[in-house]
Structure 1
Amino acid sequence: MASDAELFAAAEAVRARAYAPYSRFHVGAAILADDGKIYAGANVENAAYPIGNCAEASAIAAMIAGGGKRITRLYVTGPGTAPVTPCGGCRQRIREFADQDVVVISHGVDGAPLSQTVAQLLPHSFGPEYLPK
C-alpha cells in the first residue's frame, strides 16, 4: 500500500503541471485505487467557464482509464496554508467511487494537512446504492 508521502509526492508532481492560467490556483490530486496503483490529476481550466476539470475529477478519470475501480485513499494539494478541500461537485464524484470511510487528505502545502472521511466531507450523501439495480 502506498504511503501518504507517496500520495503527496504524486499530487505535487502533477500539480506542477496544472493548467490554471485564469485562477492561478494550481491543484493536484492523487488517488490510491483498489488495484494498488496511484492515479494523479491536475486542474485544467478553460476560458469558457465552467467547462474545466478539477484535479480530483481528472484523477478519477485517470483511475477509470487505468483500470482502477474504487478509491481507497485520496490526497489533494494546493497552495497556501488552509487545507485545499474538494469542491461540492468533486465531493459527489468522490462519493461515487469511494466508501464512506475512505480518508481524503486536503493539504495547503504551506500548512498542515486535514484528514477527513468521505462521510465527513459529504454528510447524508446520495450514492449509487440508492438507485435501482
Structure 2
Amino acid sequence: MENKNNNYKKKGGRKPKMNPSIHRHVFRLTDQENDRLISLFEMSGMTNKAKFIVSVLFSNEIKTVSIDKGSVDFYMRLTSLYTQFRSVGVNYNQIVKLLYSHFSEKKAAAFLFKLERQTAEMALLCQKIIEITQEFNRHHLKK
C-alpha cells in the first residue's frame, strides 16, 4: 500500500527556475527591419534569438563575429603549404643520409650539388611566400 502522506516522494521533470521569464511582448517589423535584425543576429553568433533581442534592448555588449572566407581559405592553404615544407625538410635529411651511406663521397657530392641548387630555389620561393603573407596581413587582416 502507498502512503499518500509520504513527503519523500520523488518528482520527475525539470527543477523550476528561480526567476522564470513570464512576461511576453510582441512587436512587428517591416521586411527591411526584419532582414536587418536577422543579419545582426547572425553576426552576433548567439544561438537564441530571444536572448539576442533582450541583450540589444538592455544595451548589453553585442559581440559580432565576421568571417572572411578569403582569409580563411588563404590561411588553410598556407597551413597546408607549411606542412609540405616540413615534409620536404624531413625528406631532405633522409636523402643526405642515404647518399652518404650508399654512394661514394664523390658521387654523393655531385648529387648534393644538385640538391643544393634545388634548395636555393626553394628558399627563394619561401621568401616570396613570406612577402605575400606580410602583404596579405597589411591589406586584409589589419582593419
TM-score (norm 1): 0.23
> Structure 1 or 2: larger helix share?
2
Larger relative contact order, structure 1 or 2 (CA cutoff 8 Å, min sep 6):
1
Q: Which of 1 and 2 has greater Rg?
A: 2
